[in-house]
């Protein structure tokens, strides 16, 4: 396939599906108990598996690609996919099954958000079967991605989508201001601020934007430093020098017109990115289709790593999910072999992920699968840069930091603190209040 044809195909697939990577990182409001899909695994034969997953434009094409790839090993294989409306439907199904102690309502496999699986394995340990002995080279994945699904020293899940953070820049605007992509790679946030002020003064464009309410910026900046919002299971805001430093950077970037904090998600995507207000975009790579909506800017973007406090190249991840085998699975060996062969770096992984990328925009976290010719293809919108291969390479360098089921609670409280600090409130007071609010939500004294 020629480069241009592949680029067009990928852009089309990702535009309708890739934003789901963001959706999978958002916890939906709990509207109370609701009916979830049920599956009769007792009727399955030795060639059949069932799975719950969400998003028909993103995750479902990836599962369909895996099912097709596995037929090379088992021509009679069938994967019964039950499409859920959102990720919380899967969480509800596990909760209902775990609360009743009846796991017969669950499928063989479920897709589950990375940020929530630890809680559900600990709350309902009998709902799951580990995949520790699956024929998977776990070293073929970044340690950060595996840290979510490795619980009590056992592998419970097989990674699917890649949430690696990209920093995309308008290279034409950088050039207009006397800079190249190399000048914004491996720099400090202070250096970034200096360049950003020049860009704004000369072009009126911000070098960075973020949703001010669902503000993922503090988390990504912390992770790039190898630091966490949590310590020993509790929020760590007030005694966290790295946290204080990055909050100071964020407030300064905003005051210097380098960072635009949008009012909400729509303002962030529709006004600042699609509205062409920015010369730089930093987020999980699922933000790519949003960037690509501005057709006139094709060929004017490239991606690189994040700035950091020290100037080393920064790597982080935002969003993602993995596949888990439930207690109701009777064909456990088939389930483990299917996952290993397709998503786990086995013989069918390159075929699985090549088609998952082309049909749904899902980027692999499996390092060897990212070495295929499809991943090495240049993408026209990004100046011919092989961005998918680069994303996989960057993902292997994301630091592992302490996670928490209260990730989104922390995000909400820190976002509010930043707003108040920007309005003149004292940073130490706001961080203490944010920490207190998270402790309260967690039930800590």
Instruction: Cite the residue boundaries of each domain of the chain with CATH code 3.40.190.10.
Output: 14-163+318-377, 165-316+406-442
Is 308 in a helix, a strand, or coil?
strand
Architecture of the domain whose range is 14-163+318-377: 3-Layer(aba) Sandwich (3.40)
Angle at 366 between CA 364 and CA 369, to 5 degrees: 80
Within 8 A by CB and 6+ apart from 283, the residues are: 22, 165, 166, 210, 216, 220, 318
CATH topology assigned to domain 165-316+406-442? D-Maltodextrin-Binding Protein; domain 2 (3.40.190)
Is 1 in a helix, a strand, or coil?
coil
Within 8 A by CB and 6+ apart from 4, the residues are: 380
Count of positions (residues) in the chain: 445
Q: Are 342 and 64 in contact (CB under 8 A)?
A: no
pTM listed for this prediction: 0.84
Q: 178's torsion region: left (phi>0), alpha (psi -120 to 50) or beta?
A: left
Is 81 in a helix, a strand, or coil?
strand
- The one-digit pLDDT tens for each residue of the chain (445 residues) are 333 344 444 444 444 444 444 443 343 333 333 444 556 676 678 999 999 999 998 899 999 999 999 999 999 999 999 999 999 999 999 999 999 999 999 999 999 999 889 889 999 999 999 999 999 999 999 999 999 999 999 999 999 999 999 999 999 999 999 999 999 999 999 999 999 999 999 999 999 999 999 899 999 999 999 999 999 999 999 999 999 999 999 999 999 999 999 999 999 999 999 999 999 999 999 899 899 999 999 999 999 999 999 999 999 999 889 999 999 999 999 999 999 999 999 999 999 999 999 998 899 999 999 999 999 999 999 999 999 999 999 999 999 999 998 998 999 999 999 999 999 999 999 999 999 999 999 999 7
* CB neighbour class for 423 (10 Å; exposed up to 12, middle 13-18, buried from 19): exposed
Tokens standing for 292?
Answer: 């690509």
Buried b (16+ CB within 10 A) or exposed e, 238-258: eebebbebbbebbbebbebbb
- The count of C-alpha atoms lying within 13 angstroms of the C-alpha of 304, restricted to the half-sphere facing its C-beta, is 19
- Rounded to whole angstroms, the Cα distance separating 196 from 191 reads 8
Residue recorded with tokens 């800017």: 297
């Amino acid at each position: 396939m020629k480069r241009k044809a592949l680029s067009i195909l990928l852009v089309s697939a990702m535009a309708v599906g890739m934003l789901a990577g963001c959706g999978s990182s958002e916890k939906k409001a709990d509207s109370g108990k609701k009916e979830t899909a049920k599956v009769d695994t007792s009727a399955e034969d030795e060639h059949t598996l069932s799975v719950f997953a969400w998003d028909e434009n993103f995750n479902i094409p990836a599962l369909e690609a895996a099912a097709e790839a596995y037929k090379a090993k088992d021509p009679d294989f069938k994967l019964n996919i039950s499409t859920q409306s959102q990720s919380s439907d899967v969480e509800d199904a596990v909760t209902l099954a775990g609360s009743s102690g009846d796991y017969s309502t669950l499928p063989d496999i479920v897709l589950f958000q990375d940020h929530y699986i630890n809680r559900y394995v600990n709350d309902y340990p009998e709902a799951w079967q580990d995949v520790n002995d699956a024929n998977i080279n776990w070293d073929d994945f970044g340690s950060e991605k595996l840290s979510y699904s490795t619980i009590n020293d056992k592998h419970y899940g097989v990674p699917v989508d890649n949430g690696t953070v990209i920093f995309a820049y308008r290279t034409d605007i950088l050039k207009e201001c006397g800079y190249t992509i190399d000048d914004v790679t491996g720099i400090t946030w202070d250096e970034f601020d200096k360049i950003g002020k020049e860009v704004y003064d000369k072009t009126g464009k911000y070098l960075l934007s973020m949703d001010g309410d669902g503000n993922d910026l503090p988390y990504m900046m912390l992770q790039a430093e190898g630091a966490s919002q949590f310590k020993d299971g509790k929020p760590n805001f007030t005694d966290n020098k790295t946290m204080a430093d990055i909050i100071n950077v964020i407030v300064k970037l905003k005051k210097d017109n380098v960072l635009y904090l949008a009012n909400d998600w729509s303002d962030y995507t529709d006004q600042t990115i699609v509205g062409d207000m920015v010369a730089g975009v930093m987020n999980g790579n699922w933000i790519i289709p949003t960037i690509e909506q501005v057709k006139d800017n094709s060929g004017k973007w490239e991606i690189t790593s994040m700035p950091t406090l020290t100037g080393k190249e920064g790597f982080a991840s935002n969003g993602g999910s993995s596949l888990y085998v439930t207690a109701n699975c009777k064909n456990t060996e088939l389930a483990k072999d299917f996952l290993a062969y397709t998503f786990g770096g086995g013989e069918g992984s390159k075929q699985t992920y090549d088609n998952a990328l082309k049909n749904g925009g899902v980027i692999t976290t499996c390092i060897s699968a990212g070495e295929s010719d499809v991943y090495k293809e240049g993408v026209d919108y990004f100046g011919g840069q092989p961005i998918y291969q680069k994303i996989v390479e960057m993902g292997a360098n994301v630091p592992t930091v302490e996670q928490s089921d209260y990730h989104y609670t922390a995000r909400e409280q820190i976002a509010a603190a930043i707003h108040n600090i920007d309005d003149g409130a004292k940073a130490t007071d706001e961080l203490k209040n944010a920490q207190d609010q998270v402790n309260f939500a967690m039930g800590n004294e």
